[in-house]
Amino acid sequence: MNKKPSSEGLEKELSWEEAVGRYLEQTPDYFLRHPELLTALAVPHLDTGRAVSLVERQVLVLRDRNDRITHQLQELIGFARDNDQLGERVQRFAIAMIDTTSLDDALDTAQDMLRQEFNLDGMAVRLMGIASPGGARGEFVAAGDVLVENLLTRLKEHNGQPLCGGVHEAATLAALFGAAAAGTRSTAVIGLARHALRGVLVLASCDPQRFRADMGSVYLVRIGELLMAGVARHLAVAAE
């Protein structure tokens, strides 16, 4: 009857394996000096189970590594292409905001650009800190507005970074988007602040994956800054 190896024997065997492994790592030219071992050694193929030479196994490992690197490179190229396109859209948004001639024009242009350039299903702006100018389509609300204050509180808890992800309460969505709220599946809430103005820009999409909690928010912040620059410019003109 075969006896089970003792713990001392197992430790000795493991120590020998570790020693061999360390030696081969520290002597990468070992098989260059002993090429006959490359064909003598054989390891099982991971898929078929048949024995293959060490050289063949190395080729398979390198091929698999090359496939992974190629896939990662393709992903990076895709991300770079998407970022270039997104950067161009933000630039067109900036130019459009510069070309606006009034406060109403700035808000209308922002809504149109965000829908067309960024394929969004909804956009709402709520600002506090100034008296509501005539004809501003209700985007300006009184200081202490509960809806805006709640969103600003959530943004503060998020270190001021845009809140992206699932939809908000039905009442909040209805107040922001009216009848279009029913189809909203993901949102992005962007904090707005410039001089005495503060508020939120809320973007909505029918795609549940459009705004995710783990997505980058650099371009969202830039859009908010550009919008506020256009709004503040027209408010300054109106105050003169």
Check whether residue 149 and residue 228 sit in a common domain: yes
Q: Is residue 27 part of a domain?
A: yes
For the segment 28-49, the average pLDDT, to the nearest whole number, is: 67
Helices (H), 35-102: 36-40, 54-98
Same-domain status, 138 and 198: yes
Does residue 94 fall inside a structural domain?
no
How large is the average pLDDT for residues 112-140?
73
The boundaries of the domain holding residue 27 are 7-66
Question: What is the arithmetic mean of pLDDT over 81-110?
Answer: 89
**Terminal alpha carbon distance of the chain:** 103
Per the structure, the count of domains in the chain is 2
Inter-residue contact 180 to 121 (CB < 8 Å): yes
- 115 and 44, same structural domain? no
pTM exceeding the 0.85 threshold for the entire prediction: no
* Average per-residue pLDDT for the chain: 80
Q: Report the CATH number at residue 150.
A: 3.30.450.40
Pairing of the two strands 51-53 and 42-44: antiparallel
Q: Are residues 51 and 146 in the same domain?
A: no
Are 19 and 113 within one domain? no
Q: Which pLDDT score is estimated for 104?
A: 86
Do residues 18 and 114 both lie within one domain?
no
Same domain, 62 and 104: no
Assess if residue 79 is contained within a domain: no
Pair (58, 122) in one structural domain: no
Domain match, 55 and 118 both: no
The answer on pLDDT for 191 being more than 90 is yes
What is the band of 97 on the pLDDT scale with cuts at 50, 70, 90?
A: very high
How far apart CA 29 and CA 200 sit, in angstroms, is: 63
Q: pLDDT class for 55, splitting at 50, 70, 90?
A: low
Are 49 and 160 contained in the same domain?
no
> What pLDDT, in 10s, does the model give residues 220-240?
999 999 999 988 888 765 555
Provide the b/e sequence for 70-98 (b: ≥16 CB within 10 Å).
eeeeeeeeeeeeeeeebeebbeebbebbe
> Is 126 found in the same domain as 47?
no
DSSP 92: H
Residues 45 and 131 in one domain: no
